[in-house]
Amino acid sequence: MNLTLFDLDNTLLDGDSDFEWAQFLITKGVLDREVHAAKNQAFYDAYKAGTLDIHTFLEFQLAPLARHSRAELDAWHREFMATRILPQISVAARTLVDRHRTTGDLCAIVTATNSFVTGPICREFGIPHLVATIPAHKGGHFTGAPRGTPSFREGKIERVEAWLESLGLWWGAFERSTFYSDSLNDLPLLAKVSHPVAVDPDDTLRAHASQHGWPILTLRV
């Protein structure tokens, strides 16, 4: 059996779902444009530069979940999927996922973006497993804080290993392990698998992939 892991943002998606969710809430008037637009862009720039403080970012990104009912959030997310996410999914991305699914690989999306935002996207791809940052909740409402280790940088390895353990598996259980990602932030997990693949990579990851002979592919239209 083979293990295939997919990063989501700027990999399977032609965009960043975390960034787009905040932008969507701004356009809906849920978040104040003057206050939140600049912060959202600054966090996104820090992520791309590899300098993001994930805990400070999660305070910003998860807070809106705590201020609204799950019914409101779910309704907004359905609109978000239709208007922001589906246009970012290419035929090439769907084809790549389907190829691994039909060959019987154990597949998962592994993303730093929280599971409320990414769960429906994962289901849209037909991928059965999601390893994501988990927003804490109590009594059916989000608290605005994360639960456990964020699925970010080295945290992705910790979270993937915990998920595999829950299935009675470990890295050595697979003939081949593959991870597709665009980001320098994913270098720890890319180095962990037997077959790392750079997808439309940022400059740092492209240079690293070229130096180490990793495949580089594009899923963009």
For residue range 19-70, list pLDDT tens digits in order.
999 999 999 999 989 888 999 999 999 999 999 999 999 998 999 999 999 9
Amino acid at the residue 125: F
Q: Which of 11-15, 30-34, 69-73 has the lowest mean pLDDT?
A: 30-34
SS3 for 78-98 is: HHHHHHHHHHHECHHHHHHHH
- In sequence order, what E strands does the chain have? 2-6, 106-114, 129-138, 141-147, 176-181, 195-199, 216-217
Domains identified in the chain and CATH numbers: 2-217 (3.40.50.1000)
The whole model's pTM is what? Answer: 0.96
7 is catalytic: yes
Spell out the residues 6+ positions from residue 37 whose beta carbon is closer than 8 angstroms to its own. Answer: 23, 26
Cα–Cα–Cα angle for 126, 132, 133, rounded to 5 degrees? 155
For the segment 184-198, what is each residue's pLDDT rounded down to a tens digit?
A: 999 999 999 999 999
pLDDT value of residue 140: 83
221 pLDDT above the threshold of 80: no
Measured distance CA(217)–CA(64) in Å, rounded: 36
